[in-house]
A and B are shown apart, each in its own frame.
Chain A
Amino acid sequence: SQQGEEDPQALSIQEGENATMNCSYKTSINNLQWYRQNSGRGLVHLILIRSNEREKHSGRLRVTLDTSKKSSSLLITASRAADTASYFCATRPSGGGADGLTFGKGTHLIIQP
């Protein structure tokens, strides 16, 4: 079942601007992850934030997590043309059992040169 839902579905900005994407989910999670997918390729893991963390940085990426609102945001600062891709959030439910992730449908980001 699809748990994460990204917003917006598509986003077009100018190079150099910041891009913000949001993700909402429905059930309690162990962690939330963000992935990037270039057209026609596999997904690349960007960053993981655990349920007890509120913010995490990696290079030009900043991820926040609000477990009370069941939402996360991904900020890409100083965007570049190479950031053009689809971005997916994925959640791992809390509790034991499977390590399977549930992915959202993605935000398609276009960086205009």
Chain B
Amino acid sequence: DVKVTQSSRYLVKRTGEKVFLECVQDMDHENMFWYRQDPGLGLRLIYFSYDVKMKEKGDIPEGYSVSREKKERFSLILESASTNQTSMYLCASSPPRAQGVTYGYTFGSGTRLTVV
């Protein structure tokens, strides 16, 4: 069964800490994505990556960075956590568009981060 695995289901961190959220996929997908999900705001794209060492800003990249050193792993980094980054973080992957064919995303189970 193909999977996107997020390393933690729940995390509690203190304001100012550097936080790493890890995501690993076993489907050899080129594309990987980080979203955050908040009540009333839906899912918002933070960063995405087409390939190893490639990254692109999404709609709300401020306060975040990412790392993609290996194809299967996409890390989201909160440089200095703040309370307004308390949220559900969702990682997803997909194959790239090829010959006009696009594919759905496979999501991880999410990490619920609380910053206190």
Whether, in the assembled complex, A101 has its beta carbon less than 8 Å from a beta carbon of chain B, the answer is yes
Please classify the interface of chain B as helix (H, G, I), strand (E, B), loop, or mixed, using the class held by over half of its residues.
strand
Number of interface residues of A (CB under 8 A): 25
Whether, in the assembled complex, B43 has its beta carbon less than 8 Å from a beta carbon of chain A, the answer is yes
Interface string of B90-116 (1 = CB under 8 A from A): 101010110000111111111010000
Q: Which residues of A contact B (CB under 8 A)?
A: 1-2, 30-31, 33, 35, 40-45, 48, 50, 88, 92, 98-106
A sample of 23 inter-chain contacts (CB < 8 A) reads A2-B41, A2-B42, A2-B44, A33-B105, A35-B104, A40-B88, A42-B4, A42-B90, A42-B108, A42-B109, A43-B43, A43-B105, A48-B103, A88-B42, A98-B48, A99-B48, A99-B94, A99-B96, A99-B102, A101-B45, A102-B45, A105-B42, A106-B42
